[in-house]
Structure 1
Amino acid sequence: MNATVLRAGWTRGTIELRQSFTNGADLVSHLLWPVLMLVALWFLRDREFGDSGLALGTLALPSILGMNIAMGMLSMSQHLTADREDGTLLRARAVPDGMRGYLVGKVVSVGGGLLADLAILMIPGLLIIDGLRPGGAGSWLTLGWVLVLGLVATLPAGAALGSLFSGARGQGLVQLLVLGVISISGVFYPITSLPGWVQGVAQVFPVYWLGLGTRSALLPDTAAAVEIDGSWRHLETVGVLGLWAVAGLVVAPLVLRRMARRESGSSVAERRERALQRVR
């Protein structure tokens, strides 16, 4: 991938990101989820988990930050499906290196939006939730590598899902799968309270490891007692997220190229006609 493609993708991505914060509907979507999560954290702030001495809100806030990054899979998939429906992907394919520039642009816009949502949730969350320790340089360094590795692990996976599933029905299935994984990943309640086989399934996916990584960055070391094996397992976090990143970076371009080859003006027109018939 040459510098021209990266520059074009960066320009496209920053324009889309800026538009998402100047468009009313997009701005509401950026604010709604963090606000809902802050309300949930407010009600969990005084409820303790067992005899650990830790409030559920304290445990949940870092987990939700990790979950937000994992939601990049869903955002990327939805963007790809929408652009496939309206012909944006077909237009991108028509120019040299257009698909590569398009993918870089989507990574920039979706990743930038996720980081902005993260700040919207994190800054007030640190003020209303007690027991967090985000002050040391080591905490911020850990949070940084977890978030970067998490984005690399999830955004290509989302691109692959968006290429495999088209239309509203396909996106409904993707949402169901992602929400199902989130529900068993210890986001709102420690995973050690779940059955052993559920813990094993959750550890296959990046959502749990993103939550574990952000908890290790923002919680005191004593909080590791409620985790599996009583430790933060940084090496395992790097390993699992790294495997997802490598798999996504290998598979996503192949699936995208295959999908792009099948796109044509007639297929876009056919999908548009079906959409109009549903409206009628």
Structure 2
Amino acid sequence: MNATSHAVRLGLSRGWIEFRQALVSPQDMGTYVFFALVFVVVLFFQRDTTLEGTALTLAMATLPSAMGLTIVMNGIVGTSGSLAADREDGTLLRAKAVPHGTIGYLTGRLVSVSLSGVISLLIMLIAGLFLVPQLLETDAMGWLTMIWVLALGLAATLPWGMIIGSLVSNPGMAGMLTFLPIGAITAISGVFYPIQSMPEWAQLIAQIFPVYWLGLGMRSALLPDAAAAAELTESWRSLETFGVLGAWAVIGFLLAPPILRRMARKESGSVVQARREQAMKRIN
């Protein structure tokens, strides 16, 4: 086994350990449950509203859409924030001091964030089923569709989260550069209300970013075929979903390695100390 393979193996182990620790952490689990409950409250108020031209309730459409949004939030916001935090407290510098340690660190971060995203989706799905029990009728093909959308969605968002995390100096800035723009994109992407209600220019912008396509992909997996009548072009557009998410994944994984290597080269004890001092000033 060469050194790189060994580093990846250690990173996989590190990611699994971090994930197990999150499962027993009251703070982490509380966060997962809190956001699941927020979506359940939204579903509760949407349960009696139907989409125009269909018998589909707005709650049925919102749950899979929100699951798609959760993938984006974990992949971009979660990854960028954790990477920025590890840069600030010196975790990344310590990993850099070990041969191929940066590779092991990044592998572990990808694993832990991906598994955390899966747990978030499961909690949201289980909680949402109490208000949208019709989703239990999803067939095997639907569950397989959800799996490939989930996998491709993570691939389309994780590298961008790492890119943003490597370009900012602290978690607060990472949150500002991710949460606010994603919130704005979400508002026009048909997550909480049909995208057809948006102006045409907003629909075009929404279709550039992964949020819309992940929501559409999740809806295609969990909703009946007749529900496609409420979508743009009245179809699930599976090929387009695969193509757009695949493009974001390919571009992200092409850009991430050189940007991350450049970031790692700049890490030093003096830089970490300066960040710590800035963090202390923010706390005080």
Q: TM-score, normalised by structure 2?
A: 0.95
**Match of 1:148, as an amino acid?**
A
Q: Which residue does 2:111 correspond to in 1? A: 108
**Distance (Å, rounded) in 1 between the aligned partners of 2:134 and 2:203:** 25
Question: Structure 2: which 5+ runs fail to align?
Answer: none
1:30 matched to 2:29 = no
Q: In structure 2, give the amino acid aligned to 1:64.
A: A
Instruction: Output the CA distance in 2 between the equivalents of 1:213 and 1:274.
Output: 42
Check if 1:52 corresponds to 2:54.
Answer: yes
Shift of 1:131: 4.1
Rounded Cα–Cα distance in structure 2 between residues aligned with 1:169 and 1:235 = 35
Deviation readout 1:18-66 (Å, 9 max, x if unpaired): 1112222222112110111111111111111223221110110110111
Alpha-carbon distance in structure 1 between the residues aligned to 2:15 and 2:174:
25
For 1:14-163, what aligned pairs fall within 5 Å after superposition? 14-71=16-73, 72-132=75-135, 134-163=137-166
Preserved contact between residue 46 and residue 55 of structure 1 (Cα < 8 Å):
yes
Q: Is contact 1:134–1:217 with CA below 8 Å preserved after alignment? A: no
Determine the C-alpha separation between the residues in 2 that align with 1:86 and 1:70. 25
Q: 1:187 offset after TM fit, Å?
A: 0.4
Aligned-residue Cα RMSD (Å) equals 1.4
Q: Which residue of 1 aligns with 2:209?
A: 205
CA offsets, 1:74-117, max 9 Å, x none? 00000001001000111111111111111110111011001001
**Secondary structure of the residue that 1:140 maps to in structure 2?**
helix
**Correspondences of 1:125-274 after superposition (within 5 Å):** 125-132=128-135, 134-167=137-170, 168-274=172-278
Structure 1 position 222, deviation (Å):
0.9
Secondary structure of 1:13's aligned partner? helix
Q: How many residues are paired up?
A: 280
Gaps of 5+ in 1: none
Q: CA deviation at 1:134?
A: 4.5
Deviations 1:246-277 (A, max 9, x none): 01111111111111111110011111112222
Q: Between the two proteins, what is the percent identity of the paired residues?
A: 50
1:85 and 1:11 map into 2 onto residues whose CA distance is 23
SS at match of 1:166: coil
The answer to whether the Cα contact below 8 Å between 1:75 and 1:110 also exists between their aligned partners in 2 is: yes
Contact 1:133/1:220 (8 A) holds in 2: no
1:112-136 per-residue CA deviation (whole Å, 9 max, x = no partner) reads 0010011011023123215436531
TM-score, normalised via structure 1 length: 0.96
